[in-house]
Amino acid sequence: MTKRIFRAVFLVSALALAVGLAFLMVVLYQFFGGQLETELKNEASYLSIAVENDGAKALEELPEHAERVTLISKDGDVLFDNRADASEMENHAEREEIREARERGYGQAVRTSNTLAEKTVYYALRLENGDVLRISSTQYTVAALLGGLLQPVLLVLIMVLILSGIFASRASKKIVKPLNELDLDDPEANETYDEVAPLLGKIRNQQRTIQQQLSAAKRQQQEFSIITENMSEGLLVIDKQTDLLSFNSSALRILGAKAAPQNQSVLTLNRSEPFRRTIDAVLAGGHRTELLQVQDGFCQLIANPVLRRGEVAGAVLLLVDVTERIQRENLRREFTANVSHELKTPLTSISGFAEIIQDGFVKQEDIKKFAGKIFDEAQRLIVLVGDVIKISQLDEGCLPYEEEEVDLFQAAGEILQRLHDPAQERGVSLHLEGGHIIHQTVKPILEEILYNLCENGIKYNREGGSVTVTVRRGEDGAEISVKDTGIGIPKPQQERIFERFYRVDKSHSKEVGGTGLGLSIVKHGAAYLGAGVSVHSEPGQGSEFILAWRGKK
């Protein structure tokens, strides 16, 4: 811009100066030309008076530097010329100025020399006797004048150009400086040309619009990332080439990816066949749902195509972590199968005994014994069904109980009281230690837990052994320990005993009337109460189960 302004200013000023100069020269030339004419007229009139009085003699005394004076007779012969020999000069009768002078008293003519460098101005005056007095003066033509003045004119022109250059440079810088110094971030603060004000106004309005649009876009972006980042479901947005456009951290977590592949295909996140198949199908325009096996479990993939003007432009993939659901379903299926199996055994026995009695294979005196067996199996069934109901209720979390203040020591005492007879039957002594601790909890569930733990302590004990329940304050809160001197549990099985229907020794468990659900109920019940159960056991020495509330009272 500075260059263009410079060029324009320079051209205009140079042109103005050059034209001005030329114009001035022409005016001066005209002026001096007119001056010369007047001088010639005056001189002619003075000399005419002298010639009228003294004749041609008056002209002979003219000074050397005087203008050229010529006296011509009425016939045109040259009578006198102060610059040339009159006798050698040709007849002047037909010269323009002479003819005019003869006709109307004075005549004027201008003649340019052959070289065009000079022009001669003639003024002729008719005398009383008819002779004509002519005075002439030579003047340079404009071209000659310019030619003669070429050097100084060129000098002046160069100076004019230099001056124009300096002026143009300063002017252009001065014009551009305020424009360069404009603060476009704050257009209103600028003090500059009035002409720029509308432009600054427009910039300000545009900036405001851009700012508004930017903050709206930022807000939307933030809202979007807050929503997506707080979603437990994974979200992936891909383009037509399967390249990842957007994702949330849940998606990476579910797919087990550590970092998002920058500008890479979504297929690098999961290379399984079902995933690839779903992506192909969704990019072909179809809606798909697929169950995927991922690193730590399962996820439900819901894929929808994104259409733009009727064409598939990409896809949105939603990943729902269904590991827990699948595990729960598997567990339930396994549990149902186990329950059916566990129910079948006593039912088969009951049915068998009844059949034998019905067929009359049992002697009258043995019927009581068989009836007792049927009763035992039926009792086993009742206990089993009872345990199944308890565990199902804990699973569903729909227990009709409410929390209350429970004296843990007293509750443990009551349980030991209930187990007094079976313990005595097995020759196991029961002990209660510790002190009274009041705890806000669900009493029926606590009783169920303690009953199962103490019953196990008795069941898996030895003749003359003991079960000791201790109520105490642990590191984090209340604790109840159930310690026995029984057979103990081998280390590798200690983790598994809480699984449904898991028994270390199946036949022994059945023998002592176990269902394999007791510790499972303990674990679920403890979780329901916000507590945890741990086990410490040495085979042959005994086991200790600790029910502990963490971070509470």
Whose Cβ is closer to ligand ADP: residue 125's or residue 453's? 453
215 with 300: CB under 8 angstroms? no
Whose Cβ is closer to ligand ADP: residue 315's or residue 449's? 449
Residue 281 Cα to chain centre, angstroms: 30
CB of 488 to ligand ADP, least distance (A): 6
Q: Can you tell me the distance from the alpha carbon of 547 to that of 531, in angstroms, rounded to the nearest whole number? A: 7
Of 318, 188, 158, the C-alpha closest to 251 is 318
Of 98, 93, 92, 103, the C-alpha closest to 124 is 98
Whose Cβ is closer to ligand ADP: residue 164's or residue 485's? 485
CB of 475 to ligand ADP, least distance (A): 24
CB of 549 to ligand ADP, least distance (A): 21
304 with 315: CB under 8 angstroms? yes
Torsion of CA 488, 493, 498, 503, to 10 degrees: -80
266 with 242: CB under 8 angstroms? yes
Bridge partners of 542, per DSSP, are 538
Whose Cβ is closer to ligand ADP: residue 434's or residue 465's? 465
Whose Cβ is closer to ligand ADP: residue 314's or residue 518's? 518
Structure tokens at 236: 């992936």
CB of 407 to ligand ADP, least distance (A): 25
Whose Cβ is closer to ligand ADP: residue 234's or residue 514's? 514
Burial 165-192 (b: 16+ CB within 10 A, else e): eebbeebbeeebeeeeebeeeebeebeb
Q: Can you tell me the distance from the alpha carbon of 74 to that of 86, in angstroms, rounded to the nearest whole number? A: 15
CB of 521 to ligand ADP, least distance (A): 8
**Three-point CA angle 350, 353, 355, nearest 5°:** 105
Whose Cβ is closer to ligand ADP: residue 256's or residue 490's? 490
CB of 328 to ligand ADP, least distance (A): 20
Instruction: Note the residues at the interface with ligand ADP (CB under 6 A).
Output: 452, 456-457, 460, 484, 486-489, 497, 502-505, 509, 514-520, 543
CB of 420 to ligand ADP, least distance (A): 18
Q: Can you tell me the distance from the alpha carbon of 192 to that of 169, in angstroms, rounded to the nearest whole number? A: 20
Structure tokens at 305: 């195509």
CB of 491 to ligand ADP, least distance (A): 13
CB of 264 to ligand ADP, least distance (A): 50
Whose Cβ is closer to ligand ADP: residue 100's or residue 377's? 377
Whose Cβ is closer to ligand ADP: residue 167's or residue 502's? 502
236 with 244: CB under 8 angstroms? yes
CB of 377 to ligand ADP, least distance (A): 16
Residues 6 or more apart in contact with residue 547 via CB below 8 angstroms: 449, 450, 453, 479, 480, 481, 482, 522, 526, 531, 532, 533
Whose Cβ is closer to ligand ADP: residue 408's or residue 458's? 458
Whose Cβ is closer to ligand ADP: residue 133's or residue 497's? 497
CB of 270 to ligand ADP, least distance (A): 39
- The DSSP output letter for 505 is S
- Residue 304 belongs to what H/E stretch? strand 297-308
- Which whole-number Å values give the CA distances from 366 to 189, 370, 373, in the listed order? 114, 6, 11
